[in-house]
């Protein structure tokens, strides 16, 4: 194994994975603080908040991801003067496309009430969204700086900024929810204000870094053109990415609805699987970004052998990480299950949840390869075809197979996830074939 290539990949991947872990831990701790202060109503409101916020973030983040990829391409082509313009346009486009999510936040209570969610939970969620709406734009700007750091191979700075913001978020949530250390007790509004305050402070720190740090201030980020020079290249990556991610979230929603039709135990077992999947997904999300940046630089240099090496090593390292996590699902499923449920659950439930954990571990092995290879294709400015392949695999193959196995062949909950597994395997095959085809195409055009 090439140690230098592995180091480059891991230097970008590990900070992203740790930052994602920090964000997940922050969400868990904040939910715990709210639940201890406000009881079950806060837990219901948190379920509404985090499920809907994931969709809003998916839309916003889709327009920020190209920043790191395009900067990687610019650095690979020895054009560092383009970095500040790419960063500026990424932030501007993300803010413009986030105005609709921001409007939805400001009207969250009305929307949740319209969809007949519990009144108390809808009111609490509305109060929270109203408070965080003031910090939404600073949060997007912080995401932009993190993507900039990734593109410049300073991923460790993105991790430091994330840890700083998460620490502030937890601290102010603790202070403002119940009113510790002389601060007012604001309940769930305090949690929202903690989000806003932490991101405003993190934004100030990040801007100071861009202005003052000797290793980065020479890019002169605040001297840019008001013209959107890279808008077509941004859209070519962002729109397919946004459609693909929203479609994937909707697939998971449909599968969860299938579980609800099957019964309470199936739904509870699926919730355990989804929680564990969050841990698994930190792996491909890190390798996906690293692979996109590194292959983007190699693509700009027309170094196609290096593209193949980056993609191969990213997939091997990612699969190794997934296998380590999968071993816990395969060898200690009952331990994992009892982290989420009490000891007095039925043996049938334990068996069902164990089988689903076995299956989801295999699913994520293939999903890691699929996502990492998608990252490599994005580095080569190929996002539309992978989007079509993902839609076909999940909606034309995965969802129908889930329905077929669950309700026609009467495999019930296992059938739902078995169909999803088949969809992911098909998607992996299509994406890998697309990568081989794309690489062969650019190599032959060069010849």
Looking at every residue in the chain, the average pLDDT score rounds to 86
271 and 173 assigned to the same domain? no
244 and 216 assigned to the same domain? no
217 and 242 assigned to the same domain? no
- The phi-psi region of residue 226 (left if phi > 0; otherwise alpha if psi is between -120 and 50; otherwise beta) is alpha
Unique residue bearing structure tokens 């989801």: 360
pLDDT, tens digit (0-9, with 9 covering 90-100), for 156-165: 888 899 999 9
299 and 420 assigned to the same domain? yes
Q: What is the pLDDT of residue 361?
A: 93
**Domain final position from 229, 252, 278:** 229
Angle at 367 between CA 361 and CA 372, to 5 degrees: 130
52 and 116 assigned to the same domain? yes
189 and 250 assigned to the same domain? no
Alpha carbon distance 313, 310 (integer Å): 5
174 and 247 assigned to the same domain? no
Which of these, 294, 267, 275, lies nearest to 51 by C-alpha position? 275
| Count of structural domains, the chain | 2
Angle of helix 40-62 versus helix 231-262 axis, rounded to 10: 150
pLDDT, tens digit (0-9, with 9 covering 90-100), for 333-385: 888 888 777 667 788 888 998 999 999 999 999 999 999 999 999 999 898 99
Alpha carbon distance 65, 152 (integer Å): 14
Alpha carbon distance 126, 193 (integer Å): 13
Three-state DSSP string of the chain: CCHHHHHHHHHHHHHHHHHHHHHHHHHHHHHHHHHHHHCHHHHHHHHHHHHHHHHHHHHHHHCCHHHHHHHHHHHHCCCHHHHHHHHHHHHHHHHHHCHHHHHHHHCHHHHHHHCCCCHHHHHHHHHHHHHHHHHHHHHHHHHHHHHHHHHCCCHHHHHHHHHHHHHHHHHHHHHHHHCHHHCCCCCHHHHHHHHHHHHHHHHHHHHHHHHHCCCCHHHCCCCCCCCCCCHHHHHHHHHHHHHHHHHHHHHHHHHHHHHHHHCHHHHHHHHHHHHHHHHHHHHHHHHHHHHHHHHHHHHHCCCHHHHHHHHHHHHHHHHHHHHHHHHHHHHCHHHHHHCCCCCCCCHHHHHHHHHHHHHHHHHHHHHHHHHHHHHHHHHCCCCHHHHHHHHHHHHHHHHHHHHHHHHHCCCHHHHHHHHHHHHHHHHHHHHHHHHHHHHHHHHHHHC
Alpha carbon distance 202, 310 (integer Å): 32
Angle at 440 between CA 435 and CA 443, to 5 degrees: 125
Count CB atoms within 10 A of the CB of residue 98: 22
33 and 71 assigned to the same domain? yes
162 and 311 assigned to the same domain? no
**Domain final position from 229, 251, 271:** 229
Alpha carbon distance 238, 66 (integer Å): 7
pLDDT, tens digit (0-9, with 9 covering 90-100), for 84-104: 888 888 888 888 878 888 888
349 and 210 assigned to the same domain? no
Range of 372's domain? 235-447
Q: What is the pLDDT of residue 39?
A: 67
**Domain final position from 183, 206, 229:** 229
Q: What is the pLDDT of residue 199?
A: 92
Q: What is the pLDDT of residue 54?
A: 74
Alpha carbon distance 121, 108 (integer Å): 11
The parts of the chain modelled with pLDDT lower than 70 are 1, 39-44, 47, 51, 224-226, 342-343, 446-447
240 and 374 assigned to the same domain? yes
342 and 287 assigned to the same domain? yes
First to last CA, the chain: 28
Nearby residues of 16 by Cβ (< 8 Å), 6 or more positions away: 150, 155, 158, 159, 285, 286, 289, 290
């Amino acid at each position: 194994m090439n140690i230098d290539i592995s180091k480059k990949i891991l230097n970008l991947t590990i900070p992203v994975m740790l930052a994602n872990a920090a964000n997940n831990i922050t969400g868990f701790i904040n939910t715990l603080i709210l639940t201890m202060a406000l009881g079950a109503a806060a837990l219901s409101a948190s379920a509404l908040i985090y499920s809907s916020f994931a969709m809003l973030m998916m839309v916003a983040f889709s327009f920020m991801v190209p920043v790191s990829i395009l900067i990687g391409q610019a650095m690979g082509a020895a054009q560092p003067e383009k970095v500040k313009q790419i960063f500026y346009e990424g932030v501007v486009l993300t803010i413009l496309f986030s105005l609709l999510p921001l409007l939805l936040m400001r009207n969250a209570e009305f929307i949740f009430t319209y969809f007949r969610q519990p009144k108390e939970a809808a009111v609490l969620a509305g109060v929270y969204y109203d408070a965080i709406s003031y910090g939404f734009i600073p949060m997007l700007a912080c995401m932009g700086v993190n993507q900039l750091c990734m593109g410049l191979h300073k991923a460790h700075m993105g991790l430091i900024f994330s840890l700083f913001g998460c620490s502030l978020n937890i601290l102010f949530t603790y202070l403002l929810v119940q009113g510790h250390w002389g601060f007012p007790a604001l309940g769930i509004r305090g949690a929202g204000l903690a989000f806003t305050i932490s991101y405003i402070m993190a934004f100030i720190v990040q801007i100071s870094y861009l202005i003052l740090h000797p290793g980065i201030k020479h890019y002169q980020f605040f001297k840019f053109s008001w013209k959107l020079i890279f808008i077509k290249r941004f859209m070519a990556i962002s729109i397919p990415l946004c459609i693909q991610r929203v479609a994937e979230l909707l697939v998971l929603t449909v599968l969860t609805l299938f579980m609800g039709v099957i019964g309470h135990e199936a739904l509870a077992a699926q919730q355990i699987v989804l929680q564990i999947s969050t841990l698994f997904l930190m792996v491909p999300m890190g390798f996906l970004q690293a692979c996109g940046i590194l292959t983007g630089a190699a693509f700009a240099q027309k170094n196609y052998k290096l593209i193949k090496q980056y993609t191969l090593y990213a997939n091997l390292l990612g699969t190794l990480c997934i296998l380590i996590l999968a071993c816990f699902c395969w060898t200690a499923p009952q331990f994992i299950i009892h982290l989420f449920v009490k000891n007095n659950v039925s043996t049938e439930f334990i068996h069902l949840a164990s089988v689903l954990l076995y299956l989801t571990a295999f699913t994520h092995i293939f999903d890691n390869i699929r996502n990492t290879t998608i990252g490599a294709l994005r580095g080569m400015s190929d996002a539309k075809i992978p989007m079509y392949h993902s839609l076909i695999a999940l909606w034309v193959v995965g969802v129908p197979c889930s329905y077929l196995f669950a309700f026609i062949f009467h495999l019930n909950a296992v059938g739902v996830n078995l169909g999803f597994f088949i969809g992911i395997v098909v998607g992996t095959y299509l994406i890998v074939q697309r990568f081989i085809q794309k690489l062969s195409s650019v190599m032959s055009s060069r010849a």
